[in-house]
Amino acid sequence: MRLGVLDIGSNTINLLVADAHAGARPVTSTSHRSVVRLMRFLRPDGSIGPDGVEAIERAIAAAREVADREQVDAFLTIATSALRDAANGADIIARIERLSRVPLQVLDGPEEARTTFLAIRRWFGWSAGELLMIDIGGGSLEIAAGPDELPAVALSLPFGAGRVTMGFLPDDPPSRSQLGALTEHLERHLVTARDMMTGRPSPDHVVGSSKTIRSLAKLAGHSLPGWAGIERLVLPRARLKDWIPRMAAMPAEARQNLPGITPERTFQIVGGAIVLHEAMRALDVDELEVSPWALREGVLLRYLDAVE
């Protein structure tokens, strides 16, 4: 079975096409990405402006063309914080459904966390024991933990890399006072995440997922023996902390010359790094592993489970 999963996120719109069947590891056939950075188009009333809607429509049309060319048997579309929080989200969803020709599933924050956690559990397996997951998107931060496929706790907070950048770090490069204000804001509000973990078993593995965390791990982390040819990355909190002021001192354009930092993430990578560091600090995490699987793989796995 060939499946297409289209993830409409705050920073990028990603299509994953994979060959899969129940009980087998999905194998990626094609991937397609459009950079939209929807946070740039947010208006004061919380709606996405016309230019942002047009960017979404172009990306959906391109993804649908790729899916048709790949002859997918099922085309699944999901949206996360960018659309669920937009004042005109309902109108944009209707436009997307007309273009994609399939219903759009808008995941709430905890469901996004649970679906990503499922993918991580399947990748690491039952022997991994208690998992603690940290996932940073463009619009939100998801945290989940537990010993099973469904997390015992799942939390979503509005601290995505793009959202905090637009809200706290508008200058390029950001000022010291802006960096301090973001750090203080996160310190206050991540108490919720810390309290959520009170009384829980210590995690056997702390796992990060998302392109932001992978980029930071390539910059500040190190590699372990890989998984069947897939790079296995570990990111220590201390090394992440060292890199934050160095990145913050550079203009965004210069950051793309750093290892692992792609052009579409240069502006928001400092905000993402601060969110990750403060989340790790609040949860008393010294280092994390990076999962190759995340939300799109979780959606695919859930579909296969339902078909079975």
Is residue 165 pLDDT above 90, yes or no? yes
Dihedral of CA 174/188/167/36: which sign?
positive
pLDDT in tens, 30-41: 999 999 988 889
Q: Is 19 left (phi over 0), alpha (psi -120 to 50) or beta?
A: beta
pLDDT score of 35: 92
- What percentage of residues in the chain have a pLDDT greater than 90? 89
pLDDT in tens, 223-265: 988 777 788 999 999 999 999 999 999 999 999 999 999 998 9
**Which superfamily, per CATH, for 2-106?**
ATPase, nucleotide binding domain (3.30.420.40)
pLDDT score of 221: 97
Residue with tokens 């939209």: 36
Contact 146, 177 (CB under 8 A): no
pLDDT in tens, 122-142: 999 999 999 999 999 999 999
Distance CA 106, CA 145 (A): 22
Contact 41, 24 (CB under 8 A): no
pTM for the predicted model, two decimal places: 0.94
Considering the chain, tell me which residue range(s) the CATH 3.30.420.40 domain(s) occupy: 2-106
Q: What fold does the segment set 126-293 form as a domain?
A: Nucleotidyltransferase; domain 5 (3.30.420)
Considering the chain, tell me which residue range(s) the CATH 3.30.420.150 domain(s) occupy: 126-293
Contact 265, 33 (CB under 8 A): no
Q: How confident is the model at residue 183 (pLDDT cuts 50, 70, 90)?
A: very high
